[in-house]
Every structure is written in C-alpha cells, then in structure tokens.
Chains A and B, each alone.
Chain A
Amino acid sequence: MAKKTVLLATALVFIFVVSTGVVNAQSARDYISIVGSSTVYPFATVVAEQFGKTTRYKTPKIESTGSGGGLKLFCAGVGVEHPDITNASRRIKKSELEKCQSNGVTEIVEVKIGYDGIVLANSNRAKPMKLSRKDIFLALAKEVPDPKGGEKLVANPYRTWKDVNPSLPNIRIEVLGPPPTSGTRDAFVELAMESGAKKFDWLAALRKKDKKAFKAVAHTLREDGAYIEAGENDNLIVQKLDANPNAVGIFGFSFLDQNTDKIQGSYVDGVQPSFDAIASGDYPLSRPLFFYVKKAHIGVIPGMEGYLAEFTSEKAWGPDGYLADKGMIPMPDAERYKYRADVAKLRVLTALK
C-alpha cells in the first residue's frame, strides 16, 4: 500500500541520514574547524575566506563562541570531532593549558596576530572627551576612594564628568558598554580600570598585599545607571551614541574605524585612538589577539599549513595587509618575524611565563 511505502521510506531516510552523519563524523573532516573569540572573528573570517577562495581547500568553518568557550571546546581532546584552532582575545590561562594537557592536547602552537584597541567614543556633534585612566576609574567604579581624603572607599558619588575632573564638561556621566560576558569588558577593566585604580597609592599598595580585594574594587562597575550594559552588539552602541551626544560608548577599534563620520574617539591619557597610535603603543588601551593551533591535527586535516601560511603572510597581517583594512592593528616588524618563524617551525607552547 502507498501509505506503508511512505512510512517505510521515511524510516529508511532517517536511518540513512543518521548513519551517514555518524560515518562522516568518524572518518576524516575535509575542512578546518575554528572556534573562539568574537573579537578575532571578523579578522579570522577574512583570512578564511581568502584561503578558501584562492586555494583548492574548502573554506574553514569559524564559530564565534567567545575566548573562554573556544578554549574549552579546543581543549576537549584530539580528534576530528574537536576544533583545530581557537581564537582568543587574551592569552591562554594556566588552568586552561593544564586542562588541555590532561585531555591529551599536549602540543599547542601559540600565534599572536596583532592588537585590538578599546576605544571610548562619543558623537561627532559633541566635543571629544579628554580623559585619563584615573578619570575613567573614578567615573565608572562602583566604589571609589573617599573624595574628602583618607584611605576608605565610598559609594561612587560623582554625577557629572565635571565632578570627576574639573577640566571635563559639565554633563551627566552616561557610559554605554559591554556586559560582563564580553571579552571587551574583561580587557577594559584590566587595562583602564585597574591602571586607573593604581594611580591611588594606597590602592596600589593593596594590590601588592591582597590582589583579590584590589580586583574587587577595580573590576566592579557602578550599577546606579551611569554605566549601561548595552549588550554584545557594538553597532547598537554606535547608533545610540549618534542619537545622544552626551553619552560615551566603549567598544572595539574597528567599530570606530567604520563609523568615523558619526563618532569620534576620546583621548585617553592625551592620546586619541588612531591606527598609528595603537600600533606604536602610545594609546594605552590595547590588547593582543591570539590563536592557538592543535599540532596533532596538522597533516590530518587538509589545508592547516596553508591556513597558517595565509594568516602569517605579509599581505594578511602586515601593515598594508587586508587585516589592517578591517581594523586590526599589526604587530611591529620584529614581533611579526618572530611569530612567523615560530609558526613555520610549529614551535610548541610548553609553559606560560
């Protein structure tokens, strides 16, 4: 009967589909699988696309999982079902390296690819802000040193930028920034808030004595409405800044680079974020970007060497390369040569300094 045939066919299709899936998963994978940071994602995808379109290999698949999530997947083991490469907007942690090694992922090649700047920006229609890292800390920390003096913390009393520093404009503090799950937020609190807090001698002393207590002070942003968590979508922050000239936003440099007709970068410690200022290291809020390669997969997954060669070529990560066009800040020449040589030799990361 027709109905019976339909039922039977459905069952057969299901069994076929599942079994091919299992077989495919267990036999070789013919494309590179990459996971990791959403900050590196826009750069890694360009390289992957170039690689896929100019070689006979398939285009690598890149998932945007965040640095931590990526390393977790990466360190789960060796084998085609695990990713080959993970991108990270920070260096691998000691605990993560140990996790990797305990799961048999003993040979990891570390590749530093360049820098990303974190910018504070406001609308073009307002004047650029001239901030110092101390100002940023005082404006955004939940608890700040008592303005009356003495070595104690009080709930952040500052309402306007002028309260923080008399040279700043008399407008309400309103900062749109990333939520705690974001790598940009991690880097921001580390680079801006921590060094701002260190400007107070007694907090710097506290850091030496009790690192945890210091971090609790420097890493906790205020929750009274002056700091607004705007979600992971940086385009949204740009749109909000355009609508509200009094607000300041925090995001990656590439978003400033793409929207220079709407927004401008704020000076931090006297330096405005620009391509050159970040590359030279003058601009203080910049972080290195990395990716990590599973050496055991090289030679097993087709095209791994080619992808590494493409990423570390001058036309990709050099000062005039296509990654620079996308807003990544290249490393200085010497550092680039060092990492290219390391990649060519597949030098394994043994221990963290």
Chain B
Amino acid sequence: MNKADLIRAEEKKTPKRTIDVVRAGLAKRYRAEGRFKLYGLGAIIISLLCLAILFISIVGKGYPAFQQTFIQLEVFFDPAVLGQENLSSANFPGLVKKTLRNMFPDVKGRSDKRALYQLVSTGAAFQLREMILKDPGLVGKTVSVWVPADDDVDMLMKGHFDRKMSESGGRLNNKQLAWIDELSRQGKIEKRFNTIFFTSGDSREPELAGIGGAASGTVLTLVVTLILSFPIGVAAAVYLEEFASKNRWTDLIEVNVNNLAAVPSIVFGLLGLGVFLNFFGLPRSAPLVGGLVLTLMTLPIIIIASRAALQSVPPSIREGALGVGASKMQMVMHHVLPLALPGMLTGTIIGMARALGETAPLLMIGMVAFIVDIPTGFTDPSTVLPVQIYLWADSPERAFVERTSAAIIVLLAFLIIMNAAAIILRKKFERRW
C-alpha cells in the first residue's frame, strides 16, 4: 500500500476534522498570500520606476539649462557710434557688431559678417545699453564684458549639435564653428551659471528667457488664492460642522461641496471668464482673476479637509468647554479650532499645491500669454509657471527644450517644498486622543 492509499483509508476510518481541512489547505493559502504580497510590491516597484524615469529624464534634459554660454567682448564705447545727446536710443546693436568686427578683422563680405553677428545674442545690445544708462561715464572707455551667446552657439557648446552636420544644413556653418573654436582657444567663451534664467521674464530668444516673470505671477496668484480660500474655507467648514443643524439642506450642501471638488478645472475657468471678466469687467491675464478662479477650485478641497480636521477633535473637548460655561463661539475659537488647525493647514497647503500646477482654468482668462515685463501688482498682466512650461514646450527653438525641463524642475521643487511643509506641520502639531 502506498502513502495515498493509507491516507484514504485513514479518512474512511475517522470523520473529517476541521483542523485537517485547515492543514490540507495551508500550503495553498501561504502561496496565495505570498503572491498577494508580491502584487503589492510589484505595484510599488512599477510606480517608483515611473517616478525614477520621470525624474531622470527631466533632470537629465533640464540641468544643462542652469548653465549658459557667455562670450567675452572687449567693448570700446565709441562716442562716434553712440552719439552724444540721447544715450537710451543710441545704436547699441551697431556697437556690438563693431566690437565683433574688431575681434575678427579678416571677416569680409556681407553674408560672412551676418554669420559673425549671429554668434552673440541680441541681448548683448540691451546689456550694453543698461551699462551705459547706469554709468554714462563709460563713454569713450574700453570695457571687457561677458555677454550671452546665441542659443545655437549655446547648444553647440553643450554638445546638442553634431559638428559633422554643419555643411549639410545644421544651424551653424563651418566658418562659425571655426570662430567659436578660436574664441574657446583664447578663453573668451565659457559656460557660466545662468542667472538670467531665474531673474528675467519670458523672451523669444532662449538665451534671454527666464522664469522670473512666471514665478512672480505664480506668487501673486497664489497669494490671492490663499487670502481668499483659507478664511472662506475654514469659516464654511466651522459653520457646517459646529453650527448647522443636520437637515436636508445641509445634506444637499455637503453633497455639492464633494461634487465640486471633482469638477474638472477647465469648468472653473469658463466660470471665471463669464463672471469675473464679462460681468464684473476685471482685466484679462491678471493674477487677481487667476487667484479668484483658483480660489473656486481649491475651496472644496479646503472645506473637506477642514471638516475632517474638525471631526477628529473629540466631542469630550467640546462638552468640557461647554460644561465650564463657555459659549459656543468660545468653545470653537478657544478649543476646537486650535486643535483642528494643523489638519486644516495641511489641507490648505495641498490645495495650494494643486492650484500651483493648474493651467486649464487660466487658459480661459487670458493667462496663457507672452509676457516679458515682470508683474509687480495684482492687476499687471502675468502668467504662471505651468503656463510658461506649456508655452516653451511649443517653441521651435531647440534651446527651449532644456529650458522647459529646467522650469519643470523648479516647479517640482516648489511642489516638494509645499508638500514637505504640509507633512512637517502635521507631524509637529498632530495630537492623538
């Protein structure tokens, strides 16, 4: 008799006990549990992998944008070129061209000269203009200035262009390549930290474009959003949780608040266009209107988070306060609200982080725009970081590719800081009962 027959015989003899059934299935259940754990682990690995790919591709593409190629020019502020009476409208591009001709005296012919001028950014003229306006005493002197190189030169220096392509139609021709080699032999061309990227507004020349304007617009917009959405959201949550009686109307409001949190953001943009722009006549492209629209979008998030925070305050605290004779308002202001505030702040920061990344509602109210001047007020035309990313991603110049990624890095850094602040706040002030 083999083993299987023995077991069968055993089974016939005694009635089946539960423990036997359990034991028989045990190995299978362990295997199932192991698989279940693996699925979970797999899900986490896949999401981490996606995150890693995202970060690697964005950082890999974006980090060169934090450097920019500069060319050193020995500029003689020639009074003959500048003229004397009106320095602000003097011929600064002409001055740059003359300086370049002096550096390469053997360049002859119209098209060669044009090619030579293309090495230096058009921003060089603006830079010289600002120097002269700041210090008119420079006229007649020779100064050594580092000016930004053209975006094509920058791309070449960063290795994005294939040198062999140039004759068959690359962006730079062989003569230009030779001049660049000559400059780098003399140490007059080098990559430096790109401060322009952080301080200046948008530009159509990649080497002059920066996120300064967009970042300032983002700050202004978020200030409006915060000033409006935090007090309104908290007040609404306190009323609904502490004062409102439970009836059909409050149920209806609750359902609507929850629904509103799930409304696609573009709808809020349309609402903003209809109400704030067309009815109230507020200006287009203004951070004020952007902030109002984003307030509508973040309000439900803040209300829901604040209500959850209020609900987590134990009833005993309310009863204790009322028991020693506090009024309802004192109970809320002195006891419940301070205890619920960390949770409310966390919800607010997460809501603001969502508002920070929004473009769709701003599309309708004219914030998707080319804006060079850095906004300083709530009604100045402005744009925001995600919109700036969108606009750059659509630009034909190759150098905008890395600037797009660099702007994404800055945006992600903002988001991480905000989310980290939310976590730290929660950890620091969290109370468990």
Residues of B within 8 A of A232 (CB): 394
Is the pair A3, B169 in contact by a Cβ cutoff of 8 Å? no
Is the pair B396, A33 in contact by a Cβ cutoff of 8 Å? no
**Of A157-165, A258-266, A277-285, which binds chain B?**
A258-266
**Bound Cα distance A59, B372 (Å):** 6
**Bound Cα distance A232, B370 (Å):** 18
Q: Which of B308-327 contact A (CB under 8 A)?
A: none
**Bound Cα distance A348, B133 (Å):** 40
Is the pair A261, B369 in contact by a Cβ cutoff of 8 Å? no
**Bound Cα distance A326, B150 (Å):** 13
Closest to B391 in A: A64
Interface residues on A, range: 35 or more
Is the pair B398, A21 in contact by a Cβ cutoff of 8 Å? no
B282: contacting residue among A21, A52, A261, CB under 8 A? A21
**Bound Cα distance A260, B168 (Å):** 9
Is the pair B397, A25 in contact by a Cβ cutoff of 8 Å? no
A10: Cβ under 8 A from any B Cβ: yes
A233: Cβ under 8 A from any B Cβ: yes
A54: Cβ under 8 A from any B Cβ: yes
**Bound Cα distance A232, B122 (Å):** 29
Residues of A within 8 A of B379 (CB): 20-21, 24-25
Closest to A16 in B: B378
A-B contact pairs, 7 of them (CB 8 A): A17-B378, A41-B370, A81-B284, A254-B396, A258-B397, A259-B396, A261-B162
- Min CB distance A335 to B, Å, is 24
**Of B136-144, B178-186, B223-231, which binds chain A?**
B223-231
Residues of B within 8 A of A29 (CB): 283
**Bound Cα distance A25, B396 (Å):** 34
B393: Cβ under 8 A from any A Cβ: yes
A46-89: CB near B (< 8 Å → 1, else 0) gives 10111011101011011110000000000000000100000000
B394: contacting residue among A22, A233, A322, CB under 8 A? A233
Most chain B CB neighbours (cut-off 10 Å) among A29, A59, A261, A326: A261
Known: A54-B89, A260-B171, A327-B396. A61 touches B370 (CB 8 A): yes
Is the pair A260, B394 in contact by a Cβ cutoff of 8 Å? no
B372: contacting residue among A26, A49, A261, CB under 8 A? A49
Give the dominant DSSP class at A's interface: helix
B345-382: CB near A (< 8 Å → 1, else 0) gives 00000000000000000000010111111000011010
**Bound Cα distance A329, B393 (Å):** 23
Q: Which of B389-406 contact A (CB under 8 A)?
A: 391, 393-398, 401
Give the dominant DSSP class at B's interface: loop
A13: Cβ under 8 A from any B Cβ: yes
B370: contacting residue among A17, A22, A48, CB under 8 A? A48
Query: Across the A-B interface, how many residue pairs have beta carbons closer than 8 Å?
Result: 116
Give 8 closest A-B pairs by Cβ, nearest first: A59-B372, A62-B370, A260-B169, A63-B369, A61-B381, A261-B165, A258-B396, A45-B370
Known: A3-B333, A21-B288, A260-B171. A52 touches B378 (CB 8 A): no
A257: Cβ under 8 A from any B Cβ: yes
- Min CB distance B61 to A, Å, is 12
Known: A21-B379, A255-B396, A259-B398. A64 touches B171 (CB 8 A): no
Is the pair B204, A326 in contact by a Cβ cutoff of 8 Å? yes
Is the pair B282, A61 in contact by a Cβ cutoff of 8 Å? no
Is the pair B169, A61 in contact by a Cβ cutoff of 8 Å? no
B280: Cβ under 8 A from any A Cβ: yes
B215: Cβ under 8 A from any A Cβ: no
Residues of A within 8 A of B306 (CB): none
**Bound Cα distance A234, B394 (Å):** 7
Q: Which of A223-258 contact B (CB under 8 A)?
A: 232-235, 252, 254-255, 257-258
Interface residues on B, range: 35 or more
A334: Cβ under 8 A from any B Cβ: no
Known: A46-B204, A81-B281. A59 touches B373 (CB 8 A): yes
A339: Cβ under 8 A from any B Cβ: no
- Min CB distance B110 to A, Å, is 9
Is the pair A235, B122 in contact by a Cβ cutoff of 8 Å? no
- Min CB distance A126 to B, Å, is 15
Is the pair B285, A261 in contact by a Cβ cutoff of 8 Å? no
Most chain B CB neighbours (cut-off 10 Å) among A7, A21, A233, A255: A21
Is the pair B122, A322 in contact by a Cβ cutoff of 8 Å? yes
- Min CB distance B90 to A, Å, is 11
B114: Cβ under 8 A from any A Cβ: yes
Is the pair A49, B284 in contact by a Cβ cutoff of 8 Å? no
Is the pair B393, A233 in contact by a Cβ cutoff of 8 Å? yes
**Bound Cα distance A17, B287 (Å):** 11
B170: Cβ under 8 A from any A Cβ: yes
Is the pair A58, B373 in contact by a Cβ cutoff of 8 Å? yes
Closest to B170 in A: A261
B161: Cβ under 8 A from any A Cβ: yes
- Min CB distance B414 to A, Å, is 23
Residues of B within 8 A of A33 (CB): 284, 381
**Bound Cα distance A196, B394 (Å):** 30
Known: A49-B203, A255-B396, A258-B396. A7 touches B231 (CB 8 A): yes
A320: Cβ under 8 A from any B Cβ: yes
A18: Cβ under 8 A from any B Cβ: yes
B286: Cβ under 8 A from any A Cβ: yes
**Bound Cα distance A46, B126 (Å):** 14
**Bound Cα distance A119, B289 (Å):** 40
Residues of B within 8 A of A52 (CB): 372-373
A1-23: CB near B (< 8 Å → 1, else 0) gives 00100010010011001101110
Residues of A within 8 A of B371 (CB): 59, 61
Is the pair B165, A61 in contact by a Cβ cutoff of 8 Å? no
B204: contacting residue among A42, A54, A234, A255, CB under 8 A? A42
A214: Cβ under 8 A from any B Cβ: no
Closest to A256 in B: B396
Is the pair B282, A25 in contact by a Cβ cutoff of 8 Å? yes
Residues of B within 8 A of A267 (CB): none
**Bound Cα distance A29, B379 (Å):** 11
**Bound Cα distance A233, B371 (Å):** 20
**Bound Cα distance A18, B391 (Å):** 28
**Bound Cα distance A25, B118 (Å):** 41
Q: Which of B268-303 contact A (CB under 8 A)?
A: 280-286, 288-289
**Bound Cα distance A252, B396 (Å):** 10
- Min CB distance B7 to A, Å, is 60
**Bound Cα distance A33, B380 (Å):** 12
B283: contacting residue among A21, A234, A255, CB under 8 A? A21
B247-273: CB near A (< 8 Å → 1, else 0) gives 000000000000000000000000000
Residues of A within 8 A of B231 (CB): 7, 10
B154-183: CB near A (< 8 Å → 1, else 0) gives 000000011001000111000000000000
Known: A42-B395, A49-B372, A59-B371. A258 touches B378 (CB 8 A): no
Residues of B within 8 A of A59 (CB): 371-373
Is the pair A53, B373 in contact by a Cβ cutoff of 8 Å? no
Is the pair B369, A61 in contact by a Cβ cutoff of 8 Å? yes
Known: A25-B281, A54-B89, A81-B283. A20 touches B378 (CB 8 A): yes
Closest to B151 in A: A258
